[in-house]
Amino acid sequence: MNREKPLDLRISPQCKEKIVFLSVPESLRGPIESLSSDPTGMAFTIDPAIPLPVELAPGVEVLNLEDLSWEMILAGMIRVLAVDPQGTHARYYRGFVLAVKPDILTEFTTAARLKAHNGDYDKALEIIGLLEGLFPDLPVLLLNRALILEEQAHARGDPAEAQDEAYKAYQAVLDLHPPFPPGIFNAAFFFMKCRNFEAARRCFQTYLHVGDEPEKQEQAARILEEIQSHNLDDALFREAHECIREDNPAQGLSKIGKFLERHPQVWHGWFLLGWALRKLGRWHDGIGAFRKALELGGNTSDTRNELALCLMESGDWEAARKELKAALWEEPENVKSISNLGILALKTGNLQEAGGFFRTLLELDPQDPVAQEYFKGCGPLDG
């Protein structure tokens, strides 16, 4: 068996049903000396009494011992650990894998990042799940899972369901004992993006106590001051955001209106006002609210996207295009901007331009429902 061959787990649901257990062949018995990762220098010794889980290739039902490889054994062990990280032979399998592949944490983490970068979030999360079986107490893996879910939510336009999955992952990071400072810091920025400023404030405050990087502490203190000086952790603001997010814009409109009576210069409040108005179909009022948010400093791609939606619905397509292009300039891979430009092209009858935007969208996120629906109606992607 070639021990130097890169490990290639055939990551697919079918593989989970292709694990067989076999007695240790004579050729494998004894110590694994040359690849031992034991810091004491002692070799890992294969125990002939413990069966080896082996992953079979898709479509293979019976194992041919002549085809047995380290790859198949390690893949089987990693799969078993992912399903039952505290199983009877978990410690032994863990030691076996790390003896043969001491760099597996780095190798798999790199693979997960590459999958996420290419928009294959399901594969990326599956790889992280395999690592969690191997390293069940490693906090950075929880953070990596949260970061991938956050990236996935952003790539899909931050729908509520995707955002909730990322929220749960970050909550698991925040529940760690002892606290994990890098996770707390990243969670704070996730909550900022979600406009959950109260949760962001708590995270930044915690980081000031447990963080050990001066530059990040200074950044946390600066943002904390901004949250508090703009009253973004105000109960009315938080409640208004939750109402609008949960499709109760009328109640959210009432709450954000009261907030703005007290804090008329906070652009975040005008953004929420415009968001509620847009959901209520009050396009012209929404345009005014979003323009006020821009005037007060809310020059973000989110503000311009929301403003563009109101402009589209009011029939001002050229102004909408201008806002969307400005949003795309600010954030070139913003899927909301690309999707809205595609929709605008459809509304104006420019099917070729729409196809270009939706192709780009699928390159960023192959599962994007808007782009998939467009091409479903237009036939094959290469047609």
Can you state the percent helix, strand and coil of the chain, rounding each to 5?
65, 5, 30
Ranges of each domain in the chain: 13-100, 139-229
The 8 Å CB, 24+ separation contacts for 321-329 are 327/301, 328/301
What does pTM read for this prediction? Answer: 0.77
Residues making up the chain, counted from first to last: 383
Residues 172/146, Cβ–Cβ less than 8 Å: yes
**Can you tell me which residue has the tokens 């380290």?**
70
> 10-residue block means of pLDDT along the chain (383 residues)?
40 54 73 49 76 85 78 91 92 91 94 91 95 95 96 75 86 96 96 91 96 95 93 91 91 95 94 96 97 94 95 95 94 89 91 90 80 66 39
- For 139-229, CATH gives 1.25.40.10
Q: What pLDDT shows up at residue 36? A: 43
Residues 15/84, Cβ–Cβ less than 8 Å: no
Residues 150/166, Cβ–Cβ less than 8 Å: yes
DSSP string, 148-190: HHHHHHHHTT--HHHHHHHHHHHHHHHT-SS--HHHHHHHHHH
Pairwise CA distance, residues 148 & 170, whole Å: 11
Pairwise CA distance, residues 239 & 260, whole Å: 13
Helices 121-134 and 104-117 sit at what angle, rounded to 10 degrees?
160
